[in-house]
Chain A
């Protein structure tokens, strides 16, 4: 048994191979060392910034289909039978001069830069639900320049939604939330692609729906749906940014499959369903914005995600607290 490395585009040209088998590499860094030993300086030049061992921004590496930027970068562990893909960014994915200007205030954030902006442009985020949480999270993902957003909601806008679901306006009452949202989001930023789906997420369609997403953002209002998304994300190794609210209180945790606990570890049993829950719009405003921020961090690799930590926001006394959560060995979802 060994690790299979697949080369694409210019990496295929310069190695003269479609794939290579490597044994005994413990992580991506040592795998690249071995590849450089075999294919010499010409490969090193393509992989690393000049004179360093830092991966160039133009190199994408996937381990078992998942970008290492969402894992542990060069420290991502490897084991026998893993498949590693190495490829340059797809053509046409450059930032336009309009985009460079539009995003200039965030491009100058240390650690984000043009490189991070390009990652956002190439990212695909799935926002499940367009209510109190999904409204702010999709707005902030779109203004940040996430290149592809899929939004989904089966409901129509109701007057009682308008105290918190800021994507939907008085004139939208009776219209589908998906339609209402896509109009606003594209008006805010026409540089991004927004797919809207007017449907319910079900155990049958969920796999297909979230396939290919880099991050899934929780905008649901019930635990059966959250557990379904949690489980599907864990099985497909897609990061899942959980959020929930009630009254003045919000909670949030990021699930990074394989790297920390899942939602079921933190909340093994759903609280009883409330058909009508009290909520002040600003509460999902806070949590939805934080969820967008987490998704942006995961995509760009900036900062430290909220993995293994449940954040509790309490607007009554304006506190943010957190407690640690660990993977439960008895978890029916993530512990095997």
Chain B
């Protein structure tokens, strides 16, 4: 069992993957660390405000179908079998 991360829109383009399986991370923050380790700086640039570890407002992450900004943010707890979705909401109309 692992955590399954699904990428959407530009995150799929950057990583070149639809999904990635990650093991041994306890929360969203450490999951993102692991993803940045795997996919490099180009992913970090899309996730964090420049020079910080703050999630960009353009990024929306769901853990088990629930937005983390209504849970515990980057500290949202993760366990084996959890599903994570990362997507950049668009706003035009």
Bound together:
yes
Q: Are A268 and B69 in contact (CB under 8 A)?
A: yes
Asked whether, in the complex, the Cβ of B93 is within 8 Å of the Cβ of A244, the reply is yes
Residues on A with beta carbons closer than 8 Å to the beta carbon of B12 = 314, 317
Q: Which B residues form the contact surface with A (CB < 8 A)? A: 6, 8-10, 12-13, 18, 57-58, 60, 62, 64-67, 69-71, 85, 87-93
Question: Please, how many angstroms separate the alpha-carbon atoms of A265 and B66 in the complex?
Answer: 7
Once the chains bind, are B87 and A323 in contact (CB under 8 Å)?
yes
Provide the bound-state CA to CA distance between A5 and B90, in Å: 44
In the complex, which of the residues B57, B69, B71, B91 contacts A246, with contact meaning CB atoms closer than 8 Å? B91
Which residues of chain A in 253-268 are interfacial with respect to chain B, using CB atoms and an 8 Å cutoff?
264-268
The 7 A-B pairs of least Cβ separation, nearest first, read A246-B90, A221-B93, A268-B69, A326-B65, A277-B92, A323-B85, A268-B67
In this assembly, does A75 line the interface, its C-beta being within 8 Å of a C-beta of chain B?
no
A-B interface pairs (CB < 8 A), number = 107
Distance (Å) between the CB of A319 and the closest chain B CB? 8
Q: Are B66 and A328 in touch, CB under 8 angstroms?
A: yes
B residues in contact with A308, CB < 8 Å: 65
Most chain A CB atoms below 10 A, which of B58, B67, B89, B93: B93
**Interfacial residues, chain A to chain B (CB-CB below 8 A):** 129, 131-134, 218-223, 243-247, 249-251, 264-274, 277, 279, 284, 308, 310, 312, 314, 316-317, 321, 323-326, 328, 330-331
User: Taking the nearest CB of chain A, how far is it from the CB of B41, in angstroms?
Assistant: 22
B92 engages A272 (CB within 8 Å): no
Please state if A269 and B90 are interface contacts (CB–CB under 8 Å): no
Contact status A268-B70, CB under 8 Å? yes
Question: Given that A265-B70, A266-B67 are contacting pairs, would A271 and B93 also be in contact in the complex, using a CB cutoff of 8 Å?
Answer: no
The reply to whether A131 and B89 form a contact with Cβ atoms under 8 Å apart is: no
Nearest A residue to B87 via CB reads: A312
Given known contacts A268-B70, A269-B57, A221 and B91 CB-to-CB distance under 8 angstroms: yes
